[in-house]
Amino acid sequence: MILDSLKNLERYYSLSPRLKVVFDFLSTADLASLSVGRHDIDGDNVFVNVSELELRSLDAAHLEVHNRYMDVQVVVGGEEIFGWSDRDDCHAAEGEFDTERDILFYSDRPQTFYKVRPGQFTILLPNDAHAPMLGEGSVKKLIFKVLL
């Protein structure tokens, strides 16, 4: 898990050359006016899901993991709390891994929580079990899916 300011995103290009595609999009798009839904940037290699949603209490934290994609999540309105655990420490899987949706859920309690504010991003790799959509009020966010 990485939490940082958008101005530092280029420091993380070594994780994936596709992160430059994300950064270029963030630098040129009018983030506030992006409509809710999926926007293709580089087909299935890099795309963004724009969401506007009501946040849930910390007690409703629901961990998820991905195998094929890393997430780069950017809050553009409101503040969002994420739960986090190391994937190796999660043992209460809810079903089997859904390869088509690239997701598996766990009912384990997150080990820690952190807040993402506008102007910040979090990168979540396959080892990062994460519980998004926590906090109070609502949030508008961009969820970039970056093929590994």
Question: How far is residue 93 from each of residues 7, 31, 89, 103, 126, measured CA to CA in Å?
Answer: 36, 35, 11, 11, 15
pLDDT tens, position by position, 33-80: 899 999 999 999 999 999 999 999 999 999 999 999 999 999 999 999
Q: What is the pTM of this model?
A: 0.95
pLDDT tens, position by position, 51-64: 999 999 999 999 99
Domain residue spans in the chain? Answer: 2-147
Domain over 2-147 is classified CATH 1.10.150.20:
no
CA distance 39 to 109: 32
pLDDT for res 76: 94
Mean pLDDT of the residues in the chain: 96
Would you place residue 31 in the very low, low, confident or very high pLDDT band (cuts 50, 70, 90)? confident
CA distance 60 to 100: 25
pLDDT for res 32: 78
